[in-house]
Chain A
Amino acid sequence: MSTLMLATDELRGLIDDIWTSLFETPLDQDAPMPDDPVTAFVDISGGWQGRVLVATTTEGALALAAHMLAVPESTVREADLADAIGELANIVGGSVKSCVDGQSTLSLPNVSRFAPGAPGPDALQVLATWHHHPLCIRVAPARPLIPARRSSSEGSTS
């Protein structure tokens, strides 16, 4: 059974390194996330199973994509938003995967619009802002599938 050797402050350091490298500016304090952010995730499978998720606002995804493409925001195409946030999830996922011992694989990014919701008790989460755009980065172990249990009254005719 593999374990994830990562704490929240180490995740924050890892995220800061990635953002500084890609965007030249570090992350700032957290801000509230709207209800319909652009959310990308990659899944890690193997001895440790879990999900690495990156969420930001549409405006945040636009700013990130414009910076990654080195073009004005007005020229960024709709498809580039998903591409940029998906690639960020991929890069963060790759770094997190290196903190898992044993063999594991990384999925392709999946991008859609959904709010990350409240983190589970065993999830690591970093909330921050980049150029005033809110960001949520979360690493959550997969919930084990619990087989349905037959209730004691099931099948009883009494």
Chain B
Amino acid sequence: MKVLIVDDSRVMRQIVSRTLRQAGFDDLDLVEAENGRQGCEQVRSERPDLVLSDWNMPEMSGIEFLRNLRDTGDQTPFGFVTSEGTAEMRETATAAGALFLVAKPFTPEAFAEVLSPVLG
């Protein structure tokens, strides 16, 4: 299984990678992008099984990234990992086609709960 991690922070991409391993997903093929625009390119070239994306990013935000994918017919499973977890943002994320929203800081247990249905 291949997972695309999209976050403008290298530190946070590292933490997400580590938390995936701690959550028991230790045989994943991980690829990374720094913003939504790079994320769009990576989805097309890498064909990941899941996208884990930050929301606030320069160039193209996470929600613009998701809408761009869905507007072009791409249905790659998509979840947000973001510092903002308000009810309003969760509704916006779901309406745009996201499977889940995990708020930072997060635990391996939170990852396991939302990722198990997707990654098995």
Contact = CB atoms under 8 A, between A and B. Distances in A.
Interface of A: 17-18, 21-22, 65, 68-70, 79-80, 83-84, 86-87, 90-91, 93-95, 97-98, 103, 106-108
Nearest to B82: A94
B105 A91 contact: yes
Contacts of A90: 9, 56, 83, 104
B38 to A, nearest CB: 16
Given A91-B104, A94-B82, 16 more contacts: A17-B105, A18-B105, A65-B11, A68-B11, A68-B15, A83-B10, A83-B11, A87-B9, A87-B11, A90-B104, A94-B104, A97-B86, A98-B85, A106-B83, A108-B56, A108-B57
Interface string B1-34: 0000000111110110010000000000000000
Contact of B9 (A83, A94, A103): A83
A17 B103 CA distance: 13
B86 A98 contact: yes
A22 B12 CA distance: 11
B43 to A, nearest CB: 23
B10 A94 contact: no
B33 to A, nearest CB: 16
18 contacts: A21-B105, A83-B9, A83-B10, A84-B11, A87-B9, A87-B12, A90-B9, A90-B56, A91-B83, A91-B104, A91-B105, A93-B83, A94-B82, A106-B83, A107-B56, A108-B8, A108-B56, A108-B57
Interface of B: 8-12, 14-15, 18, 56-58, 82-86, 88, 103-107
Chain A at the B interface: SS class: helix
Q: Which 8 A-B pairs have the closest CB atoms?
A: A94-B83, A21-B105, A94-B84, A87-B9, A68-B11, A91-B83, A83-B11, A84-B11
Nearest to B7: A87
Contacts of A83: 9-11
Contacts of A108: 8, 56-58
A58 B86 CA distance: 32
A87 B14 CA distance: 12
Contacts of B104: 90-91, 94
Contacts of A98: 84-86
B74 to A, nearest CB: 26
